[in-house]
Structure formats: C-alpha cells, structure tokens
C-alpha cells in the first residue's frame, strides 16, 4: 500500500520547478519528484501536413533511449473558470533522497523539452501554479469517477482530405482517427466536463524486453504447434514362412594364481596456540647546553715486530657399490581356419545363396614370466695437509696539533608508549609404516569351432484399409494469433523501446464518465493491436489507492497472481506500450480551446540567423528561426553599413522602441548629430539615457510648453540660397497641406515672392538690386557684413549677400504671409469664385500657425533659434522636437517636415562649400513619417514648373548619403509614403502590420514575393508578430550572405521618462519674448 508521508511544490523565481512527494511502500521510504512543462505554443499552419504522430513517435523513442520516465497530463478546466485544455509534459524521478529525486526529475524534464523541440518552434514553459493546484485538488477530491484506460492504442498516420499539393489522403483504416487525443478533448469539451487524463510511462530496458520476447516466443510456438493435426485408421495382413539352421561349439581352459599382501599404518597429531598483546608508552624531554674549548698536541713513535706459524691437516673417506640385473620370458602359439560356405557348401540353393558368407575356427596359447633385481655400493677417500710461516717488522712516527671551540644548545621532547605481550605453543608428531608384497602367475588356453546355416521362404499377401481426418483447433488458432501479436509487440518494444504505462481518466460527473467510456475507444481503438483499448472502473477497494498513485505520479506495479507473464506485459492497471502506441496517447493535441496556441503562423522558412554580426551598435537579440527561442546573439550595426531605415508597424508594437535604441546607440557610439522630429512626446526618455548627459536638447511646438521652439519658418537658412528656400517653402507647404487646386501653390509662391522682394531678401533678384533702398547696403546692415553703407549688392561676395538675406528675412514671418494673402483675397472680384477658393484654402492652412499664442512662438525676431545649429552642443548630441497635442496634424507635419528640410539643406551647402571631412554624421528620425512624406494623388501634377514636395523629399533620401546624412522614417502605414522614399530605405525594421498594401511593400523590402503565388507564409507572419518582436533586414553590405531578414527583439532603453518639471530642472525653461 502506498502511503503519502509529505509533499510540496518547489518554486524558484516565481516559476514552478517541480512537485515532490515523500512516500512509503512495502516498508520502503523514498521520494518521488515530477517536473512538468506546460505546452504554450505549437505553431501549425496546415494540420494535415504536420505529421504530428510521427514527430511524437520519434520524440518518445529518444526519451526511451535517454532512460526518462515520461509523464503526460491533459486537463480540461471548465469550472470554476473556463480555461479549456491544458497540456503538461514532463518526467518523474525516484530516489531515496529528495535531492537525488529532484535532480533526476529536472534532468528528465529538460530532456523532454529537448525532444519536444522536434515540433519546430514549439514552446514549453513553467506551468501555471493555479492550474496545477486545480489538478491536485481534482485528483484528490473533485474527480469522483476514475477510469483506468487499458489495452494498446492504435497509432494511425493516415491523412484526411487533400494536402497542400492537392494529393488525396489515404481512405484506409489508418484514417479512422487523424486527431486521436483531440477526439477525447473535443467530446468532453462539448459537454463542459472537467477531466484529467494522466499518462505515466515507466522506462523498461531493452534487455528486459528481449527476455520477455523470448518467453512469449516460446509460449506462442507451443500453442501454434497445436493448431492443426490428423486422425487415421488402417488394417494390414501378412503370412511369412522361413527356416534356419545353426551349430556352434567352443571350449577353453584357463589357470591363474596370484598372491598380494599390503599393510600401511599412519599416525599424525598436531596442536598449536598463540597469544600476543602489545602496548608501549614512552615520553622524554631533554635540554642540553654545552660549551667546549679544546687544544691538543700529540707526538707518537711506534715500533713493532710480528711472527706467526700455521699448520693444518685434513682426512676423509667414502665407499659406494652398486649392481643391477633383470630378465623376462614370453611364449605364444595359434591356429586359424576360414571357409566360405556360401559358395562351396550351399551355393546350389538359390533362395539362400549368399546369405551365409563363411565358417571360421581358431586356436591360441601363450605364457610369460618376468623379474628384476638391483644391488649398488660405492667407496672413496680424501687427505689434505697445509703449513705456513709469516714474519713482519713495523716502525711508525706520528705528530699532530688540534684546536677546537664548540658551543651547543639542544632541546628535545619525545613521548612513546609501548606494551607488548606474546606467547605461542606448537606441537606436532607423526608416524607412518607401509609394506607390500605381490606375486602373480597366469596360464590360459582357448579353443572355438562353429558352423551355421539358414534357409528362408515366405508368402506375404497384404490387405490395407485407411481413413484419416484433418483436425483444426480454433481455440489454439485464436490464442496463437493473440500471442503472435504480443510477440510482435515485444519485438518492436525491444528494438525501439517500451514503457509500462498507466493511463487514468478522472471525471467529476456521471455524464463525464459515460462520455469518456465512449470517447476513449473512438479515439484510440484499432484492429491491429493485441488487446484493444477499453476503460475499466476499478473496484471500490482500489479507488483510494489509485488516487494516491495518481496524486503522486506513481505507477501501479502490483501484478495479478494468475498472470502468465509475471507482469512483463501488463499489470492490473498498466499496459506495456511501444513508442508509437505511447505517442498516440501523448502527442500534443492541436486543440485551440485551451492554454496552448496551435493555429498561429510559424516562423517562415528562409529566416536568417547571424551569430556574429559586425558592429558596435546593438539593437537587440535574435530569435532562433528553428526553435523560436530568444537567443543571446545580438543584432549589430557598424557605421559603414548604416543606411536610411524604415521602421513600420502598428502603434504600440515596438517600432519606436527599436528606433529609440538605434538613435541612442548610434549617437553615443559614433558621436553623431541626431535630430528627432516627434509628433508626440515619446522620445524624451533620452534625457535620462546614460552617457548622453549634457548632449540632449528638448524643444516643443506648443507655446505653453516648458521649452517652446522659438523659430521663424520664413527666415532664410544661414547657408541656404534665398531663391532655393523660397521655392522649397511653397513646395513643402503645398505638398504637406495637400493644396488640392493647382493654382494654390502658384498663388502661395507669388505671395512669398512679393514679401521677399519688398523686404530685399531675394538679394540676387533684379528687382531687388534695382530697388533704390534694398539694392544697397543699409546703415544697420553695414557692420554685420563688414561693408560700407550704400554699397551695391552686386559688388558683395556671395557670403556677404547670404548674410544679408538672412538678416533681412528675420523681419518676415508667417503672419506677414497670411496678411499678404488676405489682402489679395480682398481684391478678388466677387464673381471670381475660383481664385477666392484658392486663396481661402491657403489661409485655412496658415490659420493655426498665425493665431493665438502660436503667432508669438513662430513670429519673426532676433531671438529665434536657427535650426541648422541643432545638436551641435559639444559637436554632437540629440535634439528632440516634440509636436505634442496642441497643434493640428498639418501644423506639426509642416513644421517638422520643414525643419528636416532645413537641416538637410544646410548639410548639403556646407558639404559643397566647406568640404569638412570631420563633419559628424547627421541623423534625422521622422516619427509618423506618412503625415510628412505624403504620396501624390492622381491628377495632382504641378503645372507651375515647380518641384513637388514628394520629389523634394525623395531627392533628399536619394542624395543624403553623399552629404553625410542618414534619414530614418517611422510609420504605421508605409503605403502612404512616396514610393521613392520607401525605395531609398535600405534598412527595414517591421512590426505587426495588417494592411494588404503595407504587406506588399514590406514583403518586397524583405526580398520576398508580394504577388501571392509564393511566400504566402511571410504575408501571414507579418500580421502575426507580437509586441516586442520585429523583422529586420540590413542589406547594405558587401557580403551577400548577410542580406537575409532576421527576427529579433529590440532592446528597450530602460530609463524613466522625465516629466515637464524634470525637463525644466535639467534644461531650464524657455519663456517666449524674454531672455532665458
């Protein structure tokens, strides 16, 4: 019996790691852990072509090879909240300690996650703790009905209907259940029945399966041999007649005598004993100090004489003698005869001729005597004598002197304890005696004679009657068929892996229980399995035990006593399944009513991945096109490959996040001049960006702002020719304002010319040079241009004339233009309705810029800001011009578009005239660019000979690279932007888009077909991109392999957005009409 001692959940960083259970069963205490992963995403575009079962089959084979105990659970949650189907995949670990069990479970879960990557771009995540709590509660109490699913499911791979290539699916038995577990889910979901379908698959080793296969094969062969047989009856009669004659005589005489005597005695005795004890202890300490001083002198004389005599005698003797003798005697005699009686005696009888081959007789006699004896002796003698004498005389004289001085200190401490005791006693005694005498004599004589004869004859009539029956044992036939299928099952399991599988289905109502009984066979039944799938209600005494097993994810292992195969193929509530059969239970259900997204578009084929992009500007991190996971591979840019960029996507999907990161990184790394033309106020967070301190300026287009932009749009740029700006103003204003009548731009152009001429701004115009006042340098202008009062304009150099034009234009503003148009409108005859409408349209567009506080903000004056100096504080930086919510879209579009034109044209003029190679790169970011770069409508051609705003901006984008400028557009509707501008944006960043026209443009920019015959998955994917994910393509490179589109997550600039008060605290407040 399974006893639950303790249990709990391990949660780390808010995510469920695993569930653990302390259990006791059969007097064994152990821990069991299960780590689960919830199926979040499995993108499937065409279900019929997905090969769901085949992929799961391969995954289960891999899990068996890795030794994983696989766990699958599907929950149908319809109360108290309607969640739908939740599918969990994981692994279980069992060990004597919690740490080891959890390690096994987590290792198995990671293996399951890797194997499930066989489903491209599928996502498994940590399960929702609330749903897991619902599961545990349902298992223990709410799930009133328990059904054990027994038998072998039939995995079928047939396809229903036609595939994407138009091929018709197989209309065979395999087509009975294309979506096997989905049939179960759909039926219970229809009735809104809460349920839990739990599958516990315990790994069975291949060696064990091979032994099971051998056992089944033996049983199957025994039964199969009894399937068919035969029964027969026969009768036969025969009468044989034969005769035989034989005679034989033999005699023999033998005499033998032998005597033998042998005696042997032996005694042996031994005894031994030993004991030893040892112990020792010793301790010593010594200190020694010494001093020695010695001086010595010696003299020695020695004389000696030596005499020695030596004498030695040695005697020895030895004797030995030996002799040997031996002999033997042998005698034999014999007699033999051989006669062929078949030929000489009975050869005339044809019946028996040749049956008797011969008669033989023989006689033999023999005797032998043998003996041996030996005697030996030896003798020898030895004698030795030695004598010697030695004399020696010695004289020695020695003299020496020595002196020594020694100081010594020594200290020693030692301790030793030793005790030893040992004693031993051993005794051994032995005695042996052997004696043997043998004497033998034998004599033999033998005589034999024989004669034989035979005769045979016969009469053999025969009568035979036979009758037989063919027998068949249908019981053995059926049993053999079942055993053969089990044999095939075990054979397949031994090759690809087998799992002892418990499958339980919990429901909370009789309706759900009855529906499950009908749906399980419908989903998993098949005809080619040993035992078909069925549900069984366990007896009452097993119900509580089954709940405990299901609650702790512990398989039922008890075997019935009458099981022929001893639990190798099944237990009471478990069945041995092959990898394919387990896949039928556990294949991910493509059931959209639930927590898993199954119908979303997959990442299309052809998506690139660059693990090592060059550059030091980081825009984000790439997604893997294979698994759909976010990686650490960075999206990088270098300054050599930076080109005009278009960021397109619906609002809120992250296009501005990507461009904000791009503006921050490029400005900080490359020290560029960056100007952001923002319709709203979404870029001000750059004020708090690290590294940009002191290099961020914020200006705003509404008068009551903290830092209003004090600018006169009519003022000539410092480096822009007056005639160029005069015509460009009319083109840009007319294009953005979408002046619908062809004469409107012409009237605007004439009104501006009149203003500029009357104020002497067009310094190269003949009317100005011939003017009595403006054709000469005025008193207040002389010091500015360093020329004498009254100097003719024609004698000035171009730089002086440009400075003069800028100075004179400071006194002309939009209100003057509005007044000039109004005066002309008053002079229009009442009957000229056409001209009246033209002028009124111009006044309508100018009105927001010349009324109220806006008139003061954009009025002429010496305190205006020259926009060509933006972002030059310290030589580099960011200037953000915020449009806000106080001007209409036209007013903001015109002011921002006109600012961008000024900045670009100033770069062009200085690049041409000054040729500064160290000029920092200029970047202009256009937010909501579709409101500025308006595409021309049909029939809106310009008959005045001027250039349209679309053409002017398109020229900017085409030529900006030459003048160290990069222009970036951010838009929600790229199809509204002029085609020439879109074509100039080589770099593309794309978020969620749904407009078909926008998709056509984006697919073309991504090097994909926009015609609809190919790359349809790319078209679907563009409106299936979530927030924070973007498509990117950066093809301005010399390496072709780097031109593929990539999928990445833009890095958010995680800094707080400053309030107006914080902007004022950092940058100060600008007050209109007064000094700062």
Q: What is the pLDDT of residue 368?
A: 42
Query: Average pLDDT in the 966-994 region?
Result: 93
Asked whether residue 383 carries a pLDDT value surpassing 70, the answer given is no
Closest to 528 in 3D by CA, of 158, 211, 148: 158
Strand 696-700 vs strand 673-678: parallel, antiparallel, or unpaired?
A: unpaired
Q: 234 falls in which pLDDT band (50, 70, 90)?
A: low
From residue 365, alpha-carbon distances to 253, 337, 371, 447 in Å are 10, 16, 22, 9
What is the rounded distance in angstroms from the CA atom of residue 451 to the CA atom of residue 447? 14
The secondary structure of 36-105, three-state, reads EEEEEECCCCCHHHCCHHHHHHHHHHHHHHCCCEEEEEEEEECCCCCCEEEEEEEEEEEECCHHHHHHHH
Give the pLDDT confidence score for residue 526 in this predicted structure.
75
Q: What is the mean pLDDT of residues 37-61?
A: 81
- How far apart are the C-alpha atoms of 150 and 501, rounded to whole Å? 9
Q: Which carries the bigger pLDDT value, residue 679 or residue 447? A: 679
- Report the residue count for the chain: 1076
In order, the DSSP letters of 592-629 are SSBSSB-SSPPPPTT-B--TT---SEEEEEEEPTTT--
Q: What is the pLDDT of residue 731?
A: 87
Looking only at the bridges linking them, the beta strands covering 498-507 and 195-204 are antiparallel
Lowest mean pLDDT among 432-446, 727-741, 942-956: 432-446
Range name among 42-56, 683-697, 966-980 with the lowest pLDDT average: 42-56
- What is the 3 state secondary structure string of 933-985? CECCCCCCCCCCCCCCHHHHHHHHHHHHHHHCEEEEEEECCHHHECHHHHHHC
The pLDDT of residue 144 is 85
DSSP state for residue 570 in the 8-state scheme: B
pLDDT at residue 214, rounded to an integer = 87
Q: Output the pLDDT for position 527.
A: 73
- pTM listed for this prediction: 0.68
Q: Cα(495)–Cα(487) distance, rounded to whole angstroms?
A: 12
Q: Is the pLDDT of residue 986 over 80?
A: yes
Please check the confidence at residue 268 and state whether its pLDDT lies above 70.
Answer: no
pLDDT at 224: 78
Residue 819 has pLDDT above 90, yes or no: yes
Q: How far is Cα 76 from Cα 135, in angstroms, rounded to an integer?
A: 10
Q: What distance in Å separates the CA atoms of residue 779 and residue 811, rounded to the nearest whole number?
A: 16
Residue 100, pLDDT score? 96
Lowest mean pLDDT among 274-288, 487-501, 712-726, 1058-1072: 274-288
User: Which of 368-372, 893-897, 934-938, 1013-1017 is least confident?
Assistant: 368-372
Residues 6 or more apart whose Cβ sits within 8 Å of residue 963: 904, 907, 908, 911
Residue 64 has pLDDT above 70, yes or no: yes
**Two tokens, residue 528:** 């080619």
Of residues 460 and 536, the one with the higher pLDDT is 536
Quick one: pLDDT at residue 356?
A: 31
Check: CB of residue 241 under 8 Å from CB of residue 459.
yes
Hey, where are the domains in the chain? 2-158+175-211+484-586, 721-862
Beta bridge partners of 12: 15
Q: What is the mean pLDDT of residues 551-567?
A: 80
pLDDT at 424: 59
CA–CA separation, 124 vs 190, rounded Å?
Answer: 26
The 8-class DSSP code of residue 167 comes to P
Q: How confident is the model at residue 324 (pLDDT cuts 50, 70, 90)?
A: very low
983: burial class by Cβ within 10 Å (0-12, 13-18, 19+)?
middle
Quote the pLDDT of residue 170: 45
Say if residues 471 and 231 touch (Cβ distance below 8 Å).
yes
DSSP 832-852: -HHHHHHHHHHHHHHHHHHSH
The pLDDT tens digits of the residues spanning 517-541 come to 999 999 888 777 888 899 999 988 8
Residues with Cβ within 8 Å of residue 72, at least 6 apart in sequence: 87, 88, 89, 90, 198, 199, 201, 585, 586
What residues form DSSP beta bridges with 1045? Answer: none
- Structural contact between residues 35 and 90, judged by C-beta atoms closer than 8 angstroms: yes
Instruction: Report pLDDT digits (tens) over 164-180.
Output: 444 434 444 444 445 68
User: In this predicted structure, what is the pLDDT of residue 716?
Assistant: 94
Give every CB contact of residue 764 below 8 A, 6+ residues apart in sequence: 721, 722, 723, 801
> Is the confidence at residue 330, as pLDDT, over 70?
no
pLDDT at residue 1073 tops 90: no
**CA quadruple 475, 481, 483, 486: dihedral sign:** negative
- Mean pLDDT calculated for residue range 37-53: 76
Summary mean pLDDT of the chain: 80
DSSP assignment string, 468-500:
EEEEE-HHHHHHHHHHHHHHHHHHHHHHH-EEE
Of 36-50, 194-208, 610-624, 640-654, minimum mean pLDDT range: 36-50
Pairing of strands 28-41, 15-25: antiparallel
- Please, what sign has the CA dihedral across residues 1007, 1012, 1016, 1020? positive
Q: What was the pLDDT predicted at 337?
A: 36
Rounded to the nearest 5 degrees, what angle is found at the Cα of 536, between the Cα atoms of 532 and 541?
150
Contacts of 911 (CB under 8 A, 6+ apart): 919, 962, 963, 964
Asked if residue 1024 has pLDDT above 60, the reply is yes
Sign of the alpha-carbon torsion through 592, 596, 597, 603: negative
pLDDT tier for residue 467 given thresholds of 50, 70 and 90: low
**How far apart are the C-alpha atoms of 632 and 643, rounded to whole Å?**
25
Residue 510 has pLDDT above 80, yes or no: yes
C-alpha span between 34 and 561 (Å, rounded): 30
In this predicted structure, what is the pLDDT of residue 44? 76
d(CA 169, CA 158): 7
What is the model's pLDDT at position 438?
A: 55
pLDDT tens-digit map of 868-877 = 889 888 889 9
- Are the CB atoms for 95 and 29 separated by under 8 Å? no
Give residue 379's pLDDT: 46
d(CA 729, CA 898): 8
Beta strands in 523-580 (DSSP E): 534-536, 574-578
Taken in order 74, 78, 82, 84, the sign of the CA dihedral is positive
Cα–Cα dist 679/237, whole Å = 123
User: Can you tell me the distance from the alpha carbon of 89 to that of 155, in angstroms, rounded to the nearest whole number?
Assistant: 19
What's the pLDDT score for residue 247?
Answer: 56
Of residues 853 and 604, more confidently modeled: 604
For residue 912, pLDDT beyond 90? no
Tokens 């007013």 correspond to: 891
Residue 353 has pLDDT above 50, yes or no: no
Q: Grade residue 213 by pLDDT with cuts at 50, 70 and 90.
A: confident
Q: Are 884 and 706 in contact (CB under 8 A)?
A: no
Distances (CA, A) of 692 to 663, 1016, 1059: 11, 44, 18
pLDDT at 457: 55
In angstroms, how far is CA 948 from the centroid of its own chain?
Answer: 55
Do residues 733 and 894 touch, judged by C-beta distance below 8 A? yes
3-state SS, residue 1075: coil
How much is the CA Rg of the chain, to the nearest whole Å?
Answer: 58
Buried b (16+ CB within 10 A) or exposed e, 563-591: eeeebbbbbbbbbbbbbbbbbbbbbbbbb
Measured at the CA of 699, the angle between CA 697 and CA 702, to 5 degrees, comes to: 165
Give per-residue pLDDT as tens, 611-629.
999 999 999 999 999 888 9
In Å, how far are 149, 292, 536 from 541, measured between CA atoms? Answer: 18, 102, 14
Contact present, 600 and 43 (Cβ < 8 Å): yes
Percentages helix, strand, coil for the chain, rounded to the nearest 5? 35, 35, 30
């Amino acid at each position: 019996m399974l006893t639950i001692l303790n249990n709990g959940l391990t949660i780390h960083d808010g995510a469920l790691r695993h569930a653990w259970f302390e259990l006791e069963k059969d007097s064994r205490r152990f821990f069991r852990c299960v780590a689960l992963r919830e199926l979040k995403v499995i993108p499937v575009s065409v279900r019929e072509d997905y090969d769901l079962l085949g992929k799961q089959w391969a995954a289960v084979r891999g899990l068996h090879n890795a030794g994983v105990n696989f766990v699958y659970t599907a929950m149908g949650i319809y109360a108290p909240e309607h969640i739908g189907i939740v599918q969990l995949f994981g692994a279980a670990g069992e060990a004597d300690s919690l740490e080891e069990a959890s390690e096994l479970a987590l290792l198995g879960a990671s293996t399951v996650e890797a194997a499930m990557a066989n489903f491209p771009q599928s996502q498994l995540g940590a399960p929702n703790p609330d749903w897991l709590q619902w599961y545990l509660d349902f298992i223990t109490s709410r799930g009133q009905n328990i059904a054990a699913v027994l038998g072998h499911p039939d995995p079928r791979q047939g396809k229903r209907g036609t595939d994407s290539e138009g091929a018709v699916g197989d209309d065979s038995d395999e087509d009975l259940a294309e979506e096997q577990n989905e049939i179960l889910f759909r039926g219970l979901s229809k009735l809104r029945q809460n349920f839990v379908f739990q599958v516990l698959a315990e790994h069975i080793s291949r060696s064990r399966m091979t032994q099971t296969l051998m056992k089944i094969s033996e049983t199957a062969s025994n039964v199969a041999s009894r399937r068919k047989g035969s029964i027969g009856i026969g009768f036969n009669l025969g009468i044989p007649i034969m005769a035989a004659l034989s005679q034989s005589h033999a005699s023999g005489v033998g005499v033998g005598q032998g005597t033998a005597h042998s005696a042997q005695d032996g005694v042996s005795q031994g005894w031994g004993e030993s004991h030893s004890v040892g112990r020792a202890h010793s301790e010593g300490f010594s200190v020694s100090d010494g001093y020695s001083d010695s001086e010595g002198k010696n003299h020695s004389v020695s004389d000696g004489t030596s005499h020695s005599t030596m004498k030695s005698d040695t005697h020895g003797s030895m004797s030995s003698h030996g002799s040997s003798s031996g002999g033997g005697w042998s005698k034999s005699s014999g007699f033999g005869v051989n006669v062929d009686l078949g030929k000489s005696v009975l050869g005339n009888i044809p019946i028996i001729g040749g049956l008797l081959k011969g008669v033989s007789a023989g006689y033999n006699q023999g005797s032998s005597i043998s003996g041996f004896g030996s005697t030996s002796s030896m003798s020898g003698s030895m004698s030795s004598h030695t004598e010697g004498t030695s004399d020696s005389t010695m004289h020695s004289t020695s003299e020496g002197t020595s002196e020594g001085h020694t100081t010594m200190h020594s200290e020693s401490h030692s301790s030793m304890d030793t005790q030893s005791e040992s004693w031993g006693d051993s005794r051994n005694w032995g005695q042996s005696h052997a004696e043997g005498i043998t004497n033998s004599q034998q004599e033999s004589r033998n005589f034999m004679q024989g004669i034989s004869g035979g005769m045979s004859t016969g009469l053999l009539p025969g009568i035979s009657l036979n009758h037989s029956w063919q027998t068949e044992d249908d019981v053995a036939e059926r049993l053999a068929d079942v055993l053969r299928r089990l044999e095939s099952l075990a054979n397949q399991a031994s090759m690809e892996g087998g799992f002892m599988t418990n499958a339980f289905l919990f429901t909370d109502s009789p309706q759900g229980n009855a529906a499950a009984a009908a749906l399980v066979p419908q989903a998993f039944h098949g005809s080619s399995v040993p035992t078909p799938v069925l549900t069984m209600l366990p007896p009452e005494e097993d119900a509580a035990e089954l709940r405990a097993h299901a609650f702790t994810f512990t398989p039922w292992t008890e075997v019935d006593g009458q099981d022929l195969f001893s639990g190798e193929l099944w237990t009471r509530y478990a069945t041995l399944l092959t990898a394919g059969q387990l896949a039928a239970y556990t294949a991910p259900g493509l059931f959209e009513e639930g927590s898993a997204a199954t119908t979303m578009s997959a990442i299309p084929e052809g998506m690139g991945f660059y693990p090592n992009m060059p550059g030091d500007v980081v825009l984000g991190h790439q997604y893997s096109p294979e698994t759909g996971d976010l990686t650490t591979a960075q999206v990088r840019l270098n300054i050599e490959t930076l080109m005009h960029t278009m960021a397109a996507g619906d609002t809120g999907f992250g296009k501005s996040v990507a461009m904000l990161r791009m503006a921050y990184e490029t400005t900080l790394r490359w020290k560029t001049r960056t100007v952001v033309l923002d319709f709203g106020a979404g870029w001000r967070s750059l004020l708090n960006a690290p590294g940009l301190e002191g290099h961020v300026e914020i200006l705003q287009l509404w008068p009551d702002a903290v830092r209003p932009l004090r600018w006169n749009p009519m003022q000539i740029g410092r480096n822009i020719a007056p005639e160029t700006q005069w015509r460009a103003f009319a083109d840009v204003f007319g294009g953005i304002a979408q002046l619908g009548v062809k004469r409107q731009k012409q009237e605007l152009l004439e009104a501006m010319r009149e203003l500029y001429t009357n104020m002497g701004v067009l310094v190269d115009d003949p009317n100005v040079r011939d003017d009595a006042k403006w054709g000469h340098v005025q008193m207040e202008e002389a010091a500015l241009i360093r020329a004498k009062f009254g100097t003719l304009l024609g004698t000035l150099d171009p730089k002086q004339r440009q400075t003069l034009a800028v100075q004179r234009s400071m006194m002309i503003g939009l209100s003057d233009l509005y007044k000039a148009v109004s005066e002309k409108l008053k002079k229009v005859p009442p009957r000229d309705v056409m001209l009246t409408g033209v002028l009124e349209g111009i006044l309508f567009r100018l009105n927001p810029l010349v009324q109220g506080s806006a008139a003061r903000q954009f009025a002429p004056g010496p305190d205006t800001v020259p926009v060509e100096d933006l972002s030059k504080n310290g030589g580099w930086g960011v200037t953000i011009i915020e449009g806000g919510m106080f001007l209409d879209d036209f007013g903001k579009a015109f002011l921002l578009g006109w600012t961008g034109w000024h900045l670009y044209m100033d770069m062009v003029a200085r690049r041409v005239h000054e040729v500064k190679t160290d000029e920092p790169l200029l970047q202009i970011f256009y937010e909501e660019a579709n409101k500025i770069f308006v595409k021309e409508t049909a029939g809106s051609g310009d008959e005045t000979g001027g250039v349209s705003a679309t053409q002017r901006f398109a020229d900017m984008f085409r030529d900006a690279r030459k003048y160290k400028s990069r222009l970036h557009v951010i838009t929600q509707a790229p199809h509204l932007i002029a085609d020439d501008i879109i074509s100039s944006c080589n770099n593309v960043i794309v978020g969620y888009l749904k407009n078909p026209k926008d998709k056509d443009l984006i697919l073309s920019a991504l090097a994909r077909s926009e015609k609809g015959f190919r790359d349809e998955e790319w078209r679907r994917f563009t409106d299936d991109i979530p927030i924070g994910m973007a498509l990117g393509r950066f093809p301005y490179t010399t390496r072709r392999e780097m031109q593929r589109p990539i999928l990445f997550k833009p890095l958010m600039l995680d800094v707080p957005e400053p309030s107006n008060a914080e902007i004022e605290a950092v940058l100060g407040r600008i007050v209109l009409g007064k000094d700062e």
